[in-house]
Structure 1
Amino acid sequence: MDARDVLRARLLAWSDLVAAEQSCAAPDRSVDAMAAFLHRHAHWLCAHAAAGDIVAEIAETTAKAKRAAYPHRTRKFRVGGCVEPQCDGSLVAVIQPHEQLLPSEVRCDIDPEHSWPAHRWRELDRRVGRQNATGGDRWLTVVEVSKLWGLSTSNVYRLASVNSWRRRANGRRVYYYEADVLQSVG
């Protein structure tokens, strides 16, 4: 309702401006009539000093209406430390809704240059694997934690939940941050 009210108010304001400055009759106050009126006067509006303002307001109003009509939200979650050397940032997965034009990506929360679109996620996974193999942060599977500490897998999941172990997923496989595991059971 808010988006509709904002749309109606903005169409009304711009219609009134056109009617006053063009000395013509204002349109009916329906959204359709005001939109058609503004469309008929689009060339005049484009030459007006406030053309930038109308474009910005209509774009903002359109975005608000789309968010109201299509409430799917972008999902964001932390997936681990940045893999770039000397970067203390965290990698954040940004998963866009299905119908969104922007691509999903994994990006660093500190350096925007550290970014991997979805088509490069395998490359990123290999880098994470190499980093783990060469002494970077180590992540353990549920089975590894279970075997190393003699726990049932259900206890591993319970401990991970109770102790808020950092986790990441690769497909269906879940990994837990070794330092968090060691702090709880080591």
Structure 2
Amino acid sequence: MPFNAAAAEVRSSIMTVLASWAGLIAEERGVAAPQRHVVRLARFIHENIPWISAHSAASDLIEELTQLIRVARKACDTRHVRIVPIGDCVRSGCTGKLRAVVKAVPGVRSRPSEIRCNADDSHWWASDEWAALAMRMQTLREHRRTWYSVADIEVLWKIPSGSIYRLANRYKWRRRKVAGRVFYHAADLQAALRG
């Protein structure tokens, strides 16, 4: 399972907000604050709801928690997550497959949030390494792959689809259509990108 950076970020925010409110309660009530653990902090705040509801900052707590809930639900929503197969892992001796994790927001053109190996979590590439990864994958494949989809080209070479269509037309890339998807010949793509 790929690492969900958005969920980790939200969890960190939840911890910070809960610790802050628990600290306020503990300080103003003169009681000990719980350990910095999400469940303990939430329980402590819950036990102090009668007191905090009379506090002048109660509406701020509700607003912050509502926002955190909204962001957490969005981060955990897997309905719009797509896993795009990229190819074999390029690390020596690894038999895993690389996959791009794409968080698709309806109505917004989404980019992969990460590329990871399914066999080893330490095999991952940041977006600024994708072009080098693509070159390395191409070298390792030794031209075994002949056709690339528009989505493949977007991910591997970071070329927007509009530019792909323009380049394909300009350089007369060979193309084929399979099940409604357009694929371009690897040799034509590589020749255009080298030139």
Flag whether TM exceeds 0.5 (same fold).
Answer: no
TM-score (norm 1): 0.42
TM-score (norm 2): 0.41
* Bigger radius of gyration among the two: 1
